[in-house]
Structure 1
Amino acid sequence: MPNRNLLLFLALCAIWETTWIGIKAGVEAVPPLLFAGTRFITAGAILLVISWLGEGLPRIAVADLPRLAATSLLMITLCYAALFWGMVHVDSGTGAVLEMSLTPVALMGFALALGEEGFDRRRLGALLLGIVGLVILFGPTAWQSWSSNRGEAAGLRLLGAGAVASAAVSYGWGSVIARPLLRLYPSALIAASTTLMGGAILLGLSLAFEPGAIAALAGRWGAAAWAGWLFLVLFGSLLGYTIYMRLLRDIGATRAGSYAFVSPVIAVLLGMVSFGEQVRLPDIIGMSIMLTAAGLAMFEGKQKVIANTVGSG
């Protein structure tokens, strides 16, 4: 991997690990679809302006619009509607384990199914190894939180966990079908178009069906929710999502998705350095396994990436 892509990959790992804090702060005070929709509309509009000021806005061919719409629906609307709603009903630890373990699986599965990548035993082994590391690192904490909160809300927690899981599948599918577009158009333009389009649908669904959404447009969210929203716009979308689109184009879905095995390690290390949190032997084992898995996934090897045409898949 070129050094520039490696630096972008590490930046993505650090940025997207911290977005969980912003999501949780927002959905506790604001209707989740409204929170997500306004975030993506704002980020998409800013990205379009930046693209226009930089290189102008190339016209997207009519034949590519259905793929662009499907990408927007899968990566933004369906993914974040499920993710933000699910995060209302599960703790952030459980959500992180589900999302970060299933996203690489979905990315590899759809990349193979749609012919974007060829089968690679080494990367399959890396994926399984990474999931084992995630379970060792976060599994006991997530299980303790889950089992200690049984009762009337157990059904909602189960639905919330299912929603987070479905978000990972939707995101993986959308990422793979986006790649042919990224070979034809600037990554910033595709990031802007999908966030703006997907966010608009989210906002429409929120205003039509979400209790309290219209009243929430007044913006009385509280400082924590606004801080989370601003962080997600600036870092989660403008920076993180654009980086992800570029990596998706340059190194493929499976390798780009291996951020899920590095981000949790960064979070644990930051907690240890910044807040004096203790790291136990199982944590060290889990992190070592996950970093090994990421290294195996990112290694170029002799894997052949298949160059799809826009009309395939």
Structure 2
Amino acid sequence: MASREILLFLLLCAIWGTTWIAMKFGIETVPPLLFAGTRFLAAGLVLAALLALRRSLVVPAIADIPRLLAVSLLVMTTCYGLLFWGVQYVSSGLAAVLEMSLTPVALLAFALMLGDERFSRRRAAAIVLGVAGIVILFAPAATTEGSSLAGLAAVSGAALVYGWGAVLSRPLMARYSSLWLACVTMVTGGALLLGISLLVEPRAPAMLQTAWPAPAIGGWLFLVLFGSLLGYTIYLHLLRVWGSSRSGSYAFVSSVVAVAAGHLVFGEDVSRTQVAGMAVLLAAAWFAIRPDRERAGCEVGGTASGVEACLSGQTSR
């Protein structure tokens, strides 16, 4: 197991576990789709400038454009559009249960259906254990009232389309860098989200022309710099090297980080039951990120061509 990837995985968990706080600060005063769309569009444009300075901007092959558009639409526009809309009608605890538990399940399910990974009983068991830990962790909050069927469907749908899009992006990683892929998907998906916001959110046009409150600006900057530029790029790298289901186990550790951050920032209580749930989640993450013996060779070197060739050889058996 490469120590570099483990460190990147832990960094990703820390970043994405604290983005919930930044999002909470933002959507209290800024329309949610506007907040998400400007976040991704800004991050993508920063990456485009960086790639231009490094002379690494490339024109995609015509055959790859439909897949690039599909990945951008699924992972960015549809996922975050559904998630931010649904959170308005679902209690925060139940939203966390649905999003964090369904994402690893969706990643594994689509990876198996699309032939990206082979079935692993240990990894499947780790995901079941992780889902159980999430339910234990968020069970008290999930029983609160104020959730609508439409909101539940939106949050659940966000996790499903995210898993589909993430697995669809895997073949692109054999031909393009993680930074380039992050740039294209964030610019495309963010621009679509911004356009939808201007059409369906009445306050969006005015908010683009006025100064945002300081907490919203702070949350937005955190999401752009850390959640998108750093976090999403790390995730694409792990997706390339580790595969869909192992990378998706970030949700287990991020759940623990989110609870700890809520306790430190908002003074939220942490019960013994939640501590037990966090222990189960950490155990599940450990089992999930450990490489299968037959896949260990795919991580040596970590080059796109080598990983793709190894994965292709395994899925063809």
Calculate the TM-score normalised by the size of structure 1: 0.90
The alpha-carbon deviation at position 14 of structure 1 amounts to 0.5
What are the residue-to-residue correspondences of 1:260-275 with 2, within 5 Å? Answer: 260-270=251-261
% same residue: 54
Deviation of 1:27 after TM superposition, in Å, equals: 2.0
Corresponding position: 1:134 with 2:134: yes
Provide the aligned C-alpha RMSD in A. 2.0
| Structure 2: 5+ residue stretches without partners | 299-309
Between stretches 118-127 and 295-304, larger displacement belongs to 295-304
Instruction: Give the structure 1 partner of residue 204 of structure 2.
Output: 213
Deviation at 1:271?
5.2
Structure 2 residue identity aligned to 1:65: I
Amino acid at match of 1:6: I
| 1:64 corresponds to 2:68 | no
- Do the aligned partners of residues 120 and 192 (structure 1) sit closer, same or farther apart at CA in structure 2, a change above 3 Å counting? same
Rounded to whole Å, the distance in 1 between the matches of 2:275 and 2:214 is 36
- Checking the alignment, whether the CA contact within 8 Å between 1:115 and 1:308 is kept in structure 2 is no
Structure-2 change in CA distance of 1:214 and 1:14 (3 Å): same
Written as runs of structure 1 = structure 2, the 5 A alignment for 1:65-104 is 65-104=65-104
Range with bigger deviation, 289-298 or 54-63 = 54-63
Matches of residues 284-303 of structure 1 in structure 2 within 5 Å? 284-303=275-294
The one-letter amino acid paired with 2:235 is Y
Contact 1:24 / 1:87 at 8 angstroms: preserved in 2? no
What do the CA deviations read for 1:121-167 (whole angstroms, capped 9, x no partner)? 11111101101111111112221xx23x4xxxx5xx33222211111
Distance 2:267 2:218 in 1: 25
Number of residue pairs the alignment of both structures matches: 300
Structure 1 residues 229-244: aligned runs within 5 Å: 229-244=220-235
Decide whether the 8 Å contact of 1:20 with 1:92 is kept in 2: no
Correspondence for 1:201: 192
Contact 2:18 2:261 in 1 (8 A): no
SS state at 2:65 partner: helix
Mind listing any 5+ residue stretches in structure 1 that lack a counterpart? none
Question: What is the distance in 1 between the residues matched to 2:275 and 2:200?
Answer: 45
Q: 1:82, 1:166 within 8 Å by CA — same for their partners in 2?
A: yes
For 1:14-25, list aligned pairs within 5 A.
14-25=14-25
- Maintained 8 Å contact 2:104/2:245: yes
